[in-house]
Chain A
Amino acid sequence: MTEKFEIYYLDDEQDLCDIVEEYGEIANIAVSTFTNHENAIAACADTEPDILFIDYRLQGITGDKVAQRISDAVTKVLVTVELQPPTLAGFSSVLAKPFDLKDFLEIITKYREAKF
């Protein structure tokens, strides 16, 4: 991949962040991960990613509240174990937990192809 396409992933489970970073390396996609939602919000304000993956159940806050604080220009994907998430407002897609590399790349490919 030569075109710049940047992914942010927010989840308070460090192991899942590590896994997603490795998925990024395998797929040659720039992936930055965050276990703290304030850091993720600050990073989005600084440099908008193409996609922000947000886990629904975060420490002290839910993913939809985080999404509300981020620019509409950022494509947001809700990552969740919920069969029926309480809200999908502000999200473009849902990635069901647990997921593997194939599931993760499917979503990225969809938005990447739309961009380029």
Chain B
Amino acid sequence: MQQKMVSLGELAASMAHDINNPLGVILGYADLLIQTNAVAPSHVKKVESIKKASARIQHIVQSLRKYSRTDSEKKFENCNLQLVIEEAIELARPRLKNESVEVRLQNSVIGEIFCNHIEIEQVLLNLINNSIDAVSRLDDKWIAIETIAEPDKYCVSITDSGLGIASELQYRIFETFFTTKTADRGTGLGLSIIVGILEEHDAQIDYLLNNGHTCFKLSFNKA
């Protein structure tokens, strides 16, 4: 798994470089069109949209770029759990929008956990992406993310509008390479990567049914 993370990091680093130069050209010329009043007033909004879209790509690339740090640079520190959750949602935003999935943030708790925030962000992103896959063909598409403070820990539950995992499959979902998705959508590595990362953080993941819906609950020790 460690090797896979390093490969992902190398890919992200290379992508960031290859994307940012042409992105700089798009952003730069869009900026120049506005700065030099080269476009008719009726078109200014369109050029502004190009700039905004470029800024979004830049944000996504920067977020991916964070994964290019190697394990030797892995840093554990006190992190605001809510900010990590919000950053993961931001990373998932393009897919959420494309698939018209609503995110409901509930009972946000301001608290800190001791973690490598890039990895915890990846855990949350993987779970959100799994939820998007699960609900994308439903009529009712939502993901609810709730944070609860317990005496010694913070729990984050990610519930989606899916109707749960078949009972005969539940005991296998954390196995490496186990997936219910088609080959083009899932490798079966997502949940096993999550388990590996959480073990390093002395944290835990549980699957449960929440009012008949699919729910994963993460438990972190308080910092």
Contacts and interface: CB of A to CB of B under 8 A. Distances in A.
Interface of A: 13, 15-16, 19-20, 22-23, 26, 57, 81, 83-84, 97-101
A19 B32 CA distance: 8
Contacts of B16: 81
A6 B104 CA distance: 52
Contacts, number: 58
Contacts of A57: 17
Binding site secondary structure of chain B:
helix
B28 A81 contact: no
B202 to A, nearest CB: 27
B25 A16 contact: yes
Interface string B13-49: 0001100110111011101100110000000000000
16 contacts: A13-B21, A13-B24, A13-B25, A16-B21, A16-B28, A19-B25, A19-B28, A26-B32, A26-B35, A81-B16, A81-B20, A83-B69, A97-B24, A98-B20, A98-B24, A101-B31
Given A26-B36, A83-B68, A100-B28, 8 more contacts: A15-B29, A19-B28, A20-B28, A83-B62, A98-B24, A100-B51, A101-B32, A101-B35
Interface residues of B, number: 24
A99 B24 contact: yes
Contacts of A15: 25, 28-29
Q: Which 6 A-B pairs have the closest CB atoms?
A: A98-B24, A19-B28, A81-B20, A15-B25, A100-B31, A98-B27
